[in-house]
Structure formats: structure tokens, C-alpha cells
């Protein structure tokens, strides 16, 4: 082949060179494409020539040409308005042909393209493809998929990504046979934990081996308590920030960094669990058994189910609440009572506002049970009344608290005042208005004369005064 024949491809259009059978021709095409992509308007019609073929850039059979093809793809995704249409095909090519590549630069550019797809608002498809890639038979590809997911969270934060899909996958990749996969999975777990906290992460790792859980707990303890912030933003977020800066500049104002913080609710990353379907057929029968061993077996089972279900499906929980209430108020075994109170707290926390239906029937009984002085009962009772209060209002609960404060039993009185103090700490001046303040003040002044309870009354008064101001 003569030199003239060898370079004849240079006369071809760029898009034809990019799919030419000669690898040198493809490199020439990619290099010209990079220049072109940097000059075109995002909505220019010329992009359509490349939209259907860009998926081939990333799977080029020649390693040198593939690297240049990846560079062209990155510029394409960054600048073309049509890039979003290519995300599925390109991501498949990146994962199968680039994520496991021996050259570090190939993998690096592939991850950069992945992150750029997220920036142009295709984050859901990207996460779905990465999760699929975590099932690949080659560990190198799996570990790079995990690494890309970790990097995505680190840069964009948890709010704009489907963390739930990654959480569901976390346990299986932490248990992978390949050490490199497990190591990357651990880094992913740590990154997710730093953004959304312990509840969703631990809920999805409940069946992990104790040794692995212990190792992760050690790493979690090292995490800085300061919540991380995104360092990179979606295009829509960038546009919004630019508009805010323009308005502020026009008005002579200064935009504070991260001035519009969005609180990430960990609950949104957890799937609700149907615990009622997991109860054994003889569950309620065992709770009524004469032998304490059978009652404890049933309540232990419930505790195990609830401990793995921080968020509960809606349903009819009346029978379960009544059964727990009966154990708490009437069972003679304090160990069983303590576990039942713990279950009541987890039930209320899992249902949140939906527990309101059952709350008013539970609070009086739980406050009355504070006559029991053993700590393995008192501590879970405190957790239970606090959890239940979150589904109620001060208006709906105030009569029960006043009755409990007036109880003759010193322990009931003291714990009720302590509970009221915690309720006050969650109130705003609007909620704790003068009407209720007067009602509670009268009761607390009466209780203040009893030396055993002065510390609780003083705390309540202090919080009330702060709220009034």
C-alpha cells in the first residue's frame, strides 16, 4: 500500500473516518471530532451525524484509537444537546470494554464520561447501568463500577442520585469472593454512610457477617461529623446558581456559599417493610402463653423483625399495638416488658405520623408503667413515649401528661415531668402558647414542692421561658 493510498482517508468526512476500518483513520477522525465538538453550538444539526455512532468510539478494538475515541466521547457528552440519547449504549460500552481495561488512563476517561452523563441529568440511567455492571463476571469490571459509583456520590452528593439502588446492592458486593471488589465496596459503604448516616446503611447490611459489620463500624467511627457537600452540580443546578448570582449582583448583594442547603432525609433511601406478614401464625397465641419462655420467644422474634425494618409499610397495626400494650402493663416478667417497650418504640419510629391512630391509647399506659424502677424497663419506656410523641401534638397529649404528673407514685411523677421537658424541647413558641404554658406551669408549681422532682420542674421552666422569649 502506497503512502498516498494510506492517507486517502483524510479526504473523507469526519464521521466516516470515525468508523473507518483502518485504526489510523479512526484516530484521525476522533482528533478532528474533538476540535469540531469544541466549536459547535450545543443544538447544532451537525451533532446528529455523530449521535448514532458515538457508542462505537468507546468500544474501538485498537487500544490507542479507543483512548482517543474516549476523549472525543467526553467532549461530545459535555457539549452536545443530543448526548442524553446515547447514555444507555455508551454506558454499556464503557462498562464492558473500558472499565476492565489494563490501561489506567482508559478507565479514568471512562469514569469521567460516566460522571459527565450525571452532570447532564442522566443520573438515574447511569446508576442503573453501574448496578447492572456490579453483576459482571469479571471482578475488574465490578470493582470499577463500584469505584465510579463512589466517585459520583463524592462529587454530586446523595440528594440527586438513586442511593437506594446502591444500598440494595451493598451487601452482595461486600460479600464478593474477590478482595478488590470487597475493598471498593467498603469505600462505597463509607461514602454513603458519610452522606445519609447510619440508619439506611445498617438496615441494608443487617445480614452481613458480624466480623465485616465490626470492620465497617470501625471505619464509620472515623467519619468526620461534618456533613459533606457536593463539589459538582447538575446542569440545572448550575443554571439556577448562575441566575441567583446575576440577581444578587444586580442588587449589590453577596451570595453565601451553599446558602440553600437541602436536608437529606435518610428515610427516603429506605424501602418500607411489611412486618405483619413476617409474624408467625401462632405469634399472638405465644404472647398469651402461660410459660414465660414462650412469651419471650415471640417477643424476641418481633424485636428481630423490627430491628431490620426502620421504615414500615402502612397497614392495620391495631392488634399488634394492643398486644404490646397488654404485655407492658400486665406481664410479670420485667425482661419481656422491657423488650415489648423497645418494640413499641421501633413500631412508632417505623410508622412515624401514621402511629397517631394508636398513640392516645398507649401514652397513659406507658406513663403509668414508669412505676417500675428497673432500668431495663425505664429506658425503653422513655424511648417509646418519645417516639410516640412525634406522631402527636401537645394539644392531644397534654391531659395525659397532666394526669401522670399528678400521680401519687414518685417515679411516675418524675418520669412524666422528664417526658414533658423533652416535649418542650421539641416545641416552638407557637405550639407552646400562653394557654398551654399556663396549664403546665400550674401543674409544675404544684410538683415543685416535692424535692425529688425539682430538677425536672426546673428544666421544664427553663425551656418554657426560652420559648416564650
- pLDDT digits over 165-219, tens only? 999 999 999 999 999 999 999 999 999 999 999 989 988 898 899 999 999 999 9
**Among 6-10, 364-368, 402-406, whose mean pLDDT is lowest?**
6-10
* pLDDT given at position 139: 97
What is the distance between the alpha carbons of residues 275 and 262, in angstroms, rounded to a whole number? 31
- Greater confidence (6 vs 151) lies with 151
What is the distance between the alpha carbons of residues 223 and 193, in angstroms, rounded to a whole number? 9
Which helix (H) or strand (E) segment holds residue 79: the answer is helix 63-79
Instruction: List, in order, residues 6 or more apart from 169 with CB less than 8 Å away.
Output: 131, 134
Match domain 271-392 to its CATH number in 1.25.10.10, 1.10.3370.10, 3.20.20.150, 3.40.50.1390.
1.25.10.10
**Cβ(25)–Cβ(17) below 8 Å:** yes
* pLDDT given at position 398: 87
As a whole number, the mean pLDDT across the chain is 89
Secondary structure letter of residue 312 according to DSSP? B
Q: Supply φ then ψ for residue 422, to 5 degrees.
A: -70, -35
Domain 8-222 = CATH 1.25.10.10: yes
* pLDDT given at position 423: 87
Task: Say whether pLDDT at 334 is over 60.
Answer: yes
Closest by Cα among 327, 349, 326 to 338: 327
What is the distance between the alpha carbons of residues 421 and 403, in angstroms, rounded to a whole number? 15
- Greater confidence (232 vs 206) lies with 232
What does R_g of the chain's alpha carbons equal in angstroms?
A: 31
Question: What's the whole-number mean pLDDT along residues 409-421?
Answer: 88
Task: Say whether pLDDT at 256 is over 70.
Answer: no
What is the distance between the alpha carbons of residues 168 and 198, in angstroms, rounded to a whole number? 15
Bridge partners of residue 273, in order along the sequence: 312
**Among 59-73, 216-230, 380-394, 426-440, whose mean pLDDT is lowest?**
426-440
* pLDDT given at position 459: 54
* pLDDT given at position 410: 87
| Segments of 221-324 assigned E as strands | none
* Set of cell numbers at residue 92: 454499556
- Greater confidence (260 vs 252) lies with 252
* pLDDT given at position 255: 47
Give the CA distances from residue 412 to residues 81, 159, 199, 228, 405, in Å, rounded to whole numbers and listed in that order.
67, 44, 32, 43, 7
Q: Supply φ then ψ for residue 227, to 5 degrees.
A: -70, 130
pLDDT band of 372, cuts 50, 70, 90: very high
**Among 24-28, 295-299, 394-398, 450-454, whose mean pLDDT is lowest?**
450-454
**Among 32-36, 206-210, 302-306, whose mean pLDDT is lowest?**
206-210
Helices (H), 80-229: 87-97, 104-119, 123-133, 139-156, 163-174, 179-196, 198-203, 210-221
* pLDDT given at position 422: 87
Question: What's the whole-number mean pLDDT along residues 349-354?
Answer: 94
pLDDT band of 427, cuts 50, 70, 90: confident
Q: Percent of the chain beyond pLDDT 90? A: 71
* pLDDT given at position 448: 67
Which helix (H) or strand (E) segment holds residue 248: the answer is helix 235-250
* pLDDT given at position 33: 97
Question: Is residue 41 exposed (0-12), middle (13-18) or buried (19+ Cβ within 10 Å)?
Answer: exposed
* pLDDT given at position 431: 72
The Cα diameter of the chain in Å comes to 108
How many residues make up the chain in this entry?
Answer: 469
Residue intervals in the chain for CATH 1.25.10.10: 8-222, 271-392
Amino acid at each position: 500500500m502506497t503512502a498516498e493510498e494510506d492517507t486517502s482517508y483524510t479526504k473523507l468526512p469526519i464521521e466516516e473516518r470515525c468508523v473507518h476500518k483502518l485504526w489510523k483513520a479512526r484516530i484521525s477522525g476522533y482528533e478532528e471530532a474533538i476540535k469540531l465538538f469544541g466549536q459547535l453550538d450545543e443544538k447544532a444539526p451537525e451533532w446528529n451525524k455523530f449521535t448514532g455512532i458515538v457508542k462505537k468510539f468507546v468500544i474501538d478494538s485498537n487500544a490507542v484509537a479507543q483512548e482517543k475515541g474516549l476523549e472525543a466521547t467526553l467532549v461530545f457528552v459535555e457539549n452536545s444537546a443530543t448526548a442524553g440519547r446515547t447514555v444507555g449504549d455508551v454506558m454499556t460500552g464503557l462498562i464492558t470494554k473500558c472499565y476492565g481495561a489494563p490501561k489506567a488512563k482508559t478507565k479514568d476517561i471512562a469514569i469521567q464520561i460516566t460522571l459527565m452523563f450525571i452532570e447532564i441529568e442522566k443520573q438515574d440511567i447511569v446508576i442503573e447501568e453501574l448496578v447492572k455492571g456490579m453483576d459482571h463476571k469479571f471482578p475488574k469490571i465490578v470493582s470499577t463500577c463500584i469505584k465510579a459509583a463512589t466517585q459520583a456520590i463524592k462529587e454530586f452528593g446523595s440528594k440527586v442520585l438513586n442511593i437506594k439502588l446502591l444500598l440494595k446492592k451493598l451487601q452482595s458486593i461486600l460479600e464478593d469472593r474477590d478482595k478488590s471488589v470487597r475493598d471498593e465496596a467498603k469505600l462505597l459503604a463509607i461514602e454513603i454512610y458519610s452522606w445519609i448516616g447510619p440508619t439506611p446503611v445498617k438496615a441494608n447490611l443487617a445480614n452481613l457477617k458480624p466480623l465485616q459489620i465490626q470492620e465497617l463500624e470501625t471505619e464509620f467511627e472515623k467519619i468526620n461529623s461534618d456533613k459533606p457537600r457536593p463539589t459538582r452540580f447538575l446542569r440545572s443546578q448550575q443554571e439556577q446558581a448562575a441566575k441567583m448570582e446575576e440577581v444578587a449582583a444586580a442588587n449589590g448583594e453577596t451570595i453565601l456559599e451553599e446558602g440553600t442547603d437541602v436536608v437529606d432525609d435518610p428515610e427516603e433511601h429506605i424501602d418500607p417493610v411489611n412486618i405483619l406478614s413476617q409474624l408467625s401464625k401462632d405469634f399472638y397465641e405465644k404472647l398469651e402463653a402461660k410459660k414465660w419462655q414462650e412469651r419471650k420467644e415471640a417477643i424476641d422474634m418481633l424485636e428481630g423483625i423490627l430491628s431490620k425494618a426502620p421504615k414500615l409499610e402502612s397497614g392495620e397495626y391495631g392488634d399488634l399495638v394492643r398486644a404490646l400494650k397488654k404485655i407492658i402493663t400486665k406481664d410479670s416478667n420485667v425482661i419481656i416488658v422491657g423488650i415489648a417497650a423497645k418494640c413499641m418504640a421501633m413500631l412508632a419510629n417505623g410508622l412515624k405520623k401514621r402511629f397517631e391512630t394508636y398513640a392516645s391509647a398507649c401514652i397513659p399506659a406507658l406513663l403509668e408503667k414508669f412505676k417500675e424502677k428497673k432500668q431495663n424497663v425505664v429506658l425503653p419506656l422513655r424511648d417509646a413515649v418519645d417516639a410516640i410523641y412525634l406522631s402527636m401534638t401537645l394539644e392531644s397529649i397534654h391531659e395525659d401528661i397532666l394526669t401522670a404528673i399528678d400521680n401519687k407514685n414518685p417515679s411516675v411523677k418524675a418520669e412524666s415531668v422528664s417526658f414533658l421537658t423533652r416535649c418542650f424541647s421539641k416545641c416552638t413558641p407557637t405550639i407552646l402558647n400562653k394557654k398551654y404554658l399556663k396549664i403546665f406551669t400550674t401543674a409544675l408549681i404544684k410538683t415543685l414542692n416535692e424535692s425529688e422532682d425539682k430538677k425536672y420542674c426546673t428544666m421544664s421552666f427553663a425551656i418554657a421561658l426560652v420559648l416564650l422569649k
